[in-house]
Structure 1
Amino acid sequence: MTAPLTTTNPAAADPGPSTTTSTTPGTTAAPVTPAGRLRAGLATTPGRLALATTVAVVACLLLGVTGFLAGNGQSAALQDAQRDAAQLVGTQELRNDLVSADATATNAFLVGGLEPTEARERYETSLSEAAEAVPSLAATARGAGEAADLAAVADSVQRYAGLVESARANNRQGFPVGAAYLDQASAALRDEVLPTIDEVAVSTSQRVDADMGSVSLAQALLLFVLLSLVALGAVQLWLARRTHRVLNTGLAAASVALLVGGVVAAAAVLGGNGVARSVASGPYAATVATSEALSLATDAKSMESFTLIKRGSGGDFEESYQTSLADAKALLAEAAEATDTGSDPLSLLNAWDEKHTEIRALDDEGSWDDAVRAATATGDDTAGAAFTAFSDQAHADVEAMSDDAVDRLGSAATTAQVAAWIALVLGVAGAVAAAAGMNVRLKEYR
């Protein structure tokens, strides 16, 4: 018999080289995770040097970016405050022009017949300045609502001017209806035009306050500037202890760049905030108060004329006069506390008020003609001359103080913008210097 043939598997007979990892029986090799690799890397000096390099570079860039954002943001806020403050002053001047035109028209009406040429010229000048100011203010208004309100003012001013012309035409011919037209014109101005202008002024004033608040917000970013300086200092301290070398040229250059950039950014931002506060409580506050006082006093002059036009029934107008003048005096006192212009419009307003008292005394005694002559006279030591002296001084103060406020805000905005770019450039330069300095140490381990 032949023995059966047996087949043998070569692979089973010769397993070849072992491809398995020798492990302790019953255990499995743990996979290597990214966190594990990071910990292993940081356990070595080169790994720690790489991390320190990253911290130093990020600290430099953080200072540059935050310094730029702080300076640039504050510059934008200061420019907004500058623009809105100028817009508010322009809106108040528009109001002053309109009440000045009305005061001139009502005072000239007392003369009867053809009004004096000087009075007519003052009226036309005030009205034309108001008409020219409206489109300019509407074009620079921030918001469709304000632009629409100012457009409505332009239409109402045209209506007011038409009513005044009707009053003048009838007054020249001696028709009593002229007084009715003048009443209607003045009512249209006070009921339609001035409230709308006041609403625009209030919204603009609120915007100025918001702009001033935004200026101070930039200071919060200075915390990141300080954090950057601390982080870079910590890297240098660690490196000195690790390598036993006191000076690293790259890190030293980065420290100087960051210190200069931080000081420049901090000085500009803190200085800009100080300028905004001083302007808000100084020339800006005084400008707004003086302009409002001028408007109230001019309105009081109109009331003075109406007390005489009504001939014995002008008690309500006298009350309005006293209220407006008291408010104007209070505002001028506030302006004097806010800033010193070297002038004293309040004393000039008091001088005109004394003339008004004399006019009222003549009218109350029954000397209406004498009272009218005293109210309409324009020579020296007259009510007209006293009011003109006050008005001219108030206008000059408003112009000087508003220019001062706008110039100071603009200068601070420019300084903050320059500081922003300085901080950014020095931050980037510091990052390059820090990376170069740390790279020298890293090469020692390669």
Structure 2
Amino acid sequence: MPKSSGAQKHEPASFGFNRFGIDPSAALPDAEATPEWLMPKAHKPAPRKKYAKYYPTQASLVSDVANSSPGKLVLAGFVLILMCITAGAVTATSISARQDQLDTMISSTEPIAHSALELYSALSIADAAASTAFVFGGIEPEELRTRYLQATMDASRALVNASSQVGEGNSRAQRLLAEIAMQLPVYTGLVESARSNNRVGNPVGAAYLNEASHVMRTRVLPLSEDLYRTRAVRVAAAHETFIRPPWLAVFAVFFVIVALVGAQFRLARKTQRTINVGWLVSTLLMTLVLVWLLTVGLYSRAEATRAADEGARPLEALATMRILAQQARGDETLGLARRGEAAELEANFRSTSAKLTERLDQLQDDDRVSVGRRAIDSAIAANAQWVAAHDRLTELYSAGDHLGAARIAVGPGERDSTANFAALDGALQDGINDTRAEMRSSLIRARTALVFAAGGVLGLSVAAGLAIAAGVWPRLREYQ
């Protein structure tokens, strides 16, 4: 029998079966019997990322850990810790920003505005005293000379104070103060020239006085008033900004609390345990952060609102009225010193006095103002007596009695203009001092409430994160 070739060694054996006992030509027994819709569908393999492509072992390990219960628990804890710390940082930053606003307002913005108001008042008093001295002719009374010198010294001191309080970022305030500092020596020099010529009877003294008054009224006083208005506007703007609630910080902390509560419910359902002590402590700590934020926020806002209603707003009104009173006093004295301009100056006095009376009545009828009520009432009474004295002055001046009008304007009588103006100016100054003290006290109380808030809420947020980690650790040990 011939030998078979090597290729024939692997041919199927007899009866159509191969060496494994399987007929390759036979169909599978259940292939046609199984319906197509019951056949398992082939899934397309998910695309592999670059990391999984080059590091298949590590990628598989990370995927397994992330999809496991311990991995999900660790990931949830990490996210909650990050949320707590982020919310604490946002809250602390918001509180620190508000505290910085109060510090700037207390140490810089408000003192500069007050110094600018003192500067304007001192300059106005100096101008009125210089003009009054020329009503008498010759050598002025010693009291007027002392008043003028004291006013110029007060103006110099207020100028130095305002300059020392202005920072490098306040270029406008620096420019205004520099211009005032340049114009003030010019004014005092003209006044001294007018005084010297007036004492020896030279008519040119009136010309020097007119020029000095022109410098004061058209350059120095407008600059100082502009400085005060600018700083007062900044004080009001700072108040408006501060009283706005820190909504971002409130929403951030509230969102974290909601997330913690939701995570605890899900963890309780997964682990069949009612509470997780660590996560419960974290929720309580973040709730304490929210309560602290709302408490200090509402308290500081209430104090800032009080500072605005009882301090900044009436202070602004009183400062404006004092400026108006000093302008009217300057018109009254200059009307006697410049006889040729008496009609124009008289019209200015009437207009300014009417504005002053209207503003005093409005402030008295304002129910929101409780501080400085006595000063406001005293100012209203003194203003009425001053207007009555000026009416008598006008009657005498119209009748040609210039000397009698001068006595009413600058005389020492209790019913004369000098005494009544001094009472009005003193009452307005008392009201300014009272309202300023109330404003600063309220701002200081608001700042005190925020002193430890920033560090406290940040520390509580970090403690809440640690509590979350402490709550995750016992659950992880159960999987070992």
Q: Which range, TM-score by smaller chain?
A: 0.7 to 0.9
Is the Cα contact below 8 Å between 2:307 and 2:442 reproduced in 1?
Answer: yes
Tell whether 2:475 aligns with 1:441: yes
Distance in 2, Cα, partners of 1:40 & 1:212: 56
Is the Cα contact below 8 Å between 2:131 and 2:333 reproduced in 1?
Answer: yes
1:176 to 190, 203, 209: 203
Say which one has the larger Rg. 2
Q: Once the two structures are superposed, what CA deviation does each residue of 1:364-419 show, in whole Å capped at 9, x if it has no partner?
A: 12221111111111232322111111111111111121122122112212322321
Q: Which residue of 2 aligns with 1:368?
A: 402
Tell whether 2:384 aligns with 1:350: yes
Distance in 1, Cα, partners of 2:115 & 2:346: 29
SS at match of 1:282: helix
Tell whether 2:328 aligns with 1:300: yes
User: TM-score w.r.t. structure 1 length?
Assistant: 0.88
SS at match of 1:110: helix
Tell whether 2:330 aligns with 1:311: no
Tell whether 2:415 aligns with 1:381: yes
Please report how far the alpha carbon of residue 327 of structure 1 lies from its aligned counterpart in structure 2 after TM superposition. 2.5
Q: Which residue of 2 aligns with 1:195?
A: 222
SS at match of 1:106: helix
Q: Which residue of 1 aligns with 2:442?
A: 408
Q: Which residue of 2 aligns with 1:140?
A: 165
Q: Which residue of 1 aligns with 2:83?
A: 59
Is the Cα contact below 8 Å between 1:70 and 1:269 reproduced in 2?
Answer: no
Tell whether 2:291 aligns with 1:257: no
SS at match of 2:415: coil
Is the Cα contact below 8 Å between 1:348 and 1:390 reproduced in 2?
Answer: yes
Distance 1:28 1:334, change over 3 A: same
Distance in 1, Cα, partners of 2:45 & 2:340: 111
One-letter code of the match for 2:477? K
Identity over aligned residues, as a percent?
A: 28
Tell whether 2:118 aligns with 1:93: yes
Please report how far the alpha carbon of residue 40 of structure 1 lies from its aligned counterpart in structure 2 after TM superposition. 5.6
Q: Which residue of 2 aligns with 1:79?
A: 103
Is the Cα contact below 8 Å between 2:194 and 2:209 reproduced in 1?
Answer: yes
Q: Which residue of 2 aligns with 1:18?
A: none
One-letter code of the match for 2:293? A
Distance in 2, Cα, partners of 1:206 & 1:313: 35
Distance 1:328 1:40, change over 3 A: farther
Which is further off, 169-178 or 290-299?
169-178
- Number of residue equivalences: 422
Q: Once the two structures are superposed, what CA deviation does each residue of 1:40-67 show, in whole Å capped at 9, x if it has no partner?
A: 6554322331132123212321232122
Distance 1:138 1:445, change over 3 A: same
1:339 to 351, 355, 369: 369
Please report how far the alpha carbon of residue 27 of structure 1 lies from its aligned counterpart in structure 2 after TM superposition. 9.6
Which is further off, 49-58 or 316-325?
49-58
Is the Cα contact below 8 Å between 1:74 and 1:218 reproduced in 2?
Answer: no
Is the Cα contact below 8 Å between 1:89 and 1:287 reproduced in 2?
Answer: no
User: TM-score w.r.t. structure 2 length?
Assistant: 0.82
Which is further off, 33-42 or 384-393?
33-42
Q: Once the two structures are superposed, what CA deviation does each residue of 1:414-441 show, in whole Å capped at 9, x if it has no partner?
A: 3223211111111111111121112222
SS at match of 2:450: helix
Please report how far the alpha carbon of residue 107 of structure 1 lies from its aligned counterpart in structure 2 after TM superposition. 1.7
Distance in 1, Cα, partners of 2:214 & 2:138: 23
Q: Which residue of 2 aligns with 1:6?
A: none
Is the Cα contact below 8 Å between 2:310 and 2:438 reproduced in 1?
Answer: no
Is the Cα contact below 8 Å between 1:134 and 1:151 reproduced in 2?
Answer: no
Q: Which blocks of at least 5 consecutive residues in structure 1 are unaligned? A: 1-23
Is the Cα contact below 8 Å between 1:261 and 1:423 reproduced in 2?
Answer: yes
Is the Cα contact below 8 Å between 1:170 and 1:178 reproduced in 2?
Answer: yes
One-letter code of the match for 1:442? L
One-letter code of the match for 1:186? S
Tell whether 2:313 aligns with 1:291: no
- Give me the CA root mean square deviation: 2.5
Is the Cα contact below 8 Å between 1:92 and 1:292 reproduced in 2?
Answer: no
Q: Which residue of 1 aligns with 2:70?
A: 46
2:256 to 228, 234, 238: 228
Distance in 1, Cα, partners of 2:183 & 2:116: 16
The structure, 1 or 2, with the larger RCO (C-alpha pairs under 8 Å, 6+ apart) is 1
Is the Cα contact below 8 Å between 1:71 and 1:420 reproduced in 2?
Answer: yes
Distance in 1, Cα, partners of 2:44 & 2:421: 102
SS at match of 2:158: helix
Which is further off, 415-424 or 80-89?
80-89
Tell whether 2:227 aligns with 1:186: no
Distance 1:65 1:128, change over 3 A: same
Please report how far the alpha carbon of residue 294 of structure 1 lies from its aligned counterpart in structure 2 after TM superposition. 0.7
Please report how far the alpha carbon of residue 193 of structure 1 lies from its aligned counterpart in structure 2 after TM superposition. 0.9
Is the Cα contact below 8 Å between 1:134 and 1:150 reproduced in 2?
Answer: yes
Q: Once the two structures are superposed, what CA deviation does each residue of 1:327-359 show, in whole Å capped at 9, x if it has no partner?
A: 223333444425221322223222211111111
One-letter code of the match for 1:222? V
Which is further off, 106-115 or 128-137?
106-115
